[in-house]
């Protein structure tokens, strides 16, 4: 499948009054048409920063220090406002964790979808209405015209999330970036939304960048997964391969800490310690203090670049697991 998004060496920092947080330290990532790529990692590892950087939606104190984001022939880090506005929503759409903050509370659902459509294409009001109802129907929302006339507060969290997906997909974008789209939902609704994303991919061939801190979600829906730690990708692999054979000690620790449905009595092994302060990264591996496999090189050098360990797996570690296995 063709590449639809290529991120190269992306570095981002946030400046506070007295410090600089290096939120991304050189991220390389490729998304293919029709691929569901999961991004997983603990809180603060830079997942949302990565999502926002793609669409140049960083807050005012955030800055792209280096790297490129290639999409449909353009480098989005150097694109003008007009290009970005035509990409956002139309070619690359975002779904957030909290649908309430993604929806406008004072406009009906129908109006919001219609406005989204009419921002990007010139169609009549009635045609926009028809497309909006079609989008709601495609999301399996019962009685689309009732939903269209409702305000966000009149709908449940799960319905709001479906509406968000309807808005995100109405322009048939090439990519959907979903940042923790199911974290605020109960388990049943979570499963329904994930199924919806999977169906969409199958129906339309769009690519999905799915951000989550939940390995269970990844196992359920993603084809491939990139594991982030301290602003970098430490491992990237096909999901099956990653679960069978995590190569980075951080991935292995995440796996060990994961609750398992098939083994509910199993004790969880919380990862001891905490991620490092991103304003104080020094010349040693960022995972060193939490790693059981550290060797002397890890104490004197930042971790190595991602290296391929198989057709479907890359790891950035001086002493990865399962070597030679
Ligand atoms: P979570 O799972 O909690 O959503 P995340 O992986 O999405 O976390 P980011 O939100 O990208 O992580 O944050 C990466 C780092 O950048 C963290 O150290 C965070 O504190 C810092 N950060 C994020 N936004 C800002 C900001 N506006 N100003 C300063 N620092 C920020
Ligand atoms: Mg986040």
Q: What is the pLDDT along the chain (325 residues), one digit of tens a residue?
A: 789 999 999 999 999 888 999 999 999 999 999 999 999 999 999 999 999 999 999 999 999 999 999 999 899 999 999 999 999 989 999 998 887 778 999 999 999 999 989 988 999 999 999 999 999 998 888 899 999 999 999 998 889 988 998 998 889 999 999 999 888 888 888 888 888 889 989 999 999 999 998 898 999 899 999 999 999 999 999 999 999 999 999 999 998 887 666 666 666 677 888 888 998 888 899 999 999 899 999 999 887 889 998 888 999 999 998 865 5
Q: How far is CA 123 from the centre of its chain?
A: 32
Q: Which two tokens stand for residue 159?
A: 């319905």
Ligand 1 touching residue 46 (CB < 6 A): yes
Ligand 1 touching residue 49 (CB < 6 A): yes
Q: Whose CA is nearest to atom 18 of ligand 1?
A: 44
Q: Using an 8 Å Cβ cutoff, are 86 and 171 in contact?
A: no
Could you tell me the distance, in angstroms and rounded to a whole number, from the CA of residue 51 to the centre of ligand 2? 9
Taking the CA atoms of 232, 235, 236 and 242 in sequence, report the sign of the dihedral they define: negative
Ligand 1 touching residue 44 (CB < 6 A): yes
Could you tell me the distance, in angstroms and rounded to a whole number, from the CA of residue 50 to the centre of ligand 1? 10
Question: What is the distance between the alpha carbons of residues 183 and 204, in angstroms, rounded to a whole number?
Answer: 25
Question: What is the distance between the alpha carbons of residues 220 and 239, in angstroms, rounded to a whole number?
Answer: 10
Question: What is the distance between the alpha carbons of residues 271 and 200, in angstroms, rounded to a whole number?
Answer: 35
Residue 88 DSSP label:
B
| Residues 6+ away with beta carbon under 8 Å from 233 | 27, 28, 29, 226, 227, 306, 316
Atom of ligand 1 nearest to the CA of 15: 29
Q: Where are the beta strands (DSSP E) in the chain?
A: 3-15, 20-32, 36-40, 62-71, 74-75, 92-95, 175-179, 207-212, 224-229, 232-238, 307-310, 313-315
Could you tell me the distance, in angstroms and rounded to a whole number, from the CA of residue 272 to the centre of ligand 1? 21
Phi (first) and psi of residue 224, to 5 degrees: -135, 165
Phi (first) and psi of residue 183, to 5 degrees: -65, -30
Q: Which two tokens stand for residue 6?
A: 């290529």
């Amino acid at each position: 499948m063709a590449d639809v998004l290529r991120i190269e060496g992306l570095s981002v920092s946030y400046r506070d009054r007295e410090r600089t947080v290096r939120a991304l330290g050189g991220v390389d990532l490729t998304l293919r048409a029709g691929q569901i790529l999961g991004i997983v990692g603990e809180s603060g590892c830079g997942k949302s920063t990565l999502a926002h950087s793609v669409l140049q939606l960083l807050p005012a104190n955030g800055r792209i220090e280096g790297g490129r984001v290639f999409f449909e022939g353009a480098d989005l880090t150097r694109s003008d406002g007009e290009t970005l506005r035509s990409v956002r929503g139309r070619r690359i759409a975002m779904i957030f964790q909290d649908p309430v903050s993604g929806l406008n509370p004072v406009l009906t659902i129908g109006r919001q979808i219609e406005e989204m459509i009419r921002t990007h294409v010139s169609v009549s009001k009635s045609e926009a209405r028809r497309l909006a109802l079609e989008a709601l129907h495609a999301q399996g929302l019962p009685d689309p015209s009732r939903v269209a006339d409702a305000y966000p507060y009149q709908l449940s969290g799960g319905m709001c999330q479906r509406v968000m997906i309807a808005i995100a997909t109405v322009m048939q974008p090439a990519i959907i970036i979903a940042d923790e789209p199911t974290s605020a939902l109960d388990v049943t609704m979570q499963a329904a939304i994930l199924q919806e994303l999977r169906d969409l991919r199958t129906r339309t061939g769009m690519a999905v960048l799915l951000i989550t801190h939940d390995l269970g979600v990844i196992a359920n829906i993603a084809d491939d997964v990139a594991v982030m730690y301290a602003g970098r990708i430490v491992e990237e692999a096909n999901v099956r391969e990653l679960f069978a054979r995590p190569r980075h000690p951080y991935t292995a620790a995440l796996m060990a800490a994961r609750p398992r449905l098939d083994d509910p009595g199993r004790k969880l092994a919380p990862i001891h310690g905490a991620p490092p302060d991103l304003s104080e990264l020094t010349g040693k591996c960022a995972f060193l203090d939490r790693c059981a496999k550290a060797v002397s090189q890890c104490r004197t050098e930042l971790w190595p670049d991602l290296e391929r360990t198989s057709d479907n797996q890359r790891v950035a570690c001086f002493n990865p697991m399962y070597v030679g296995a």
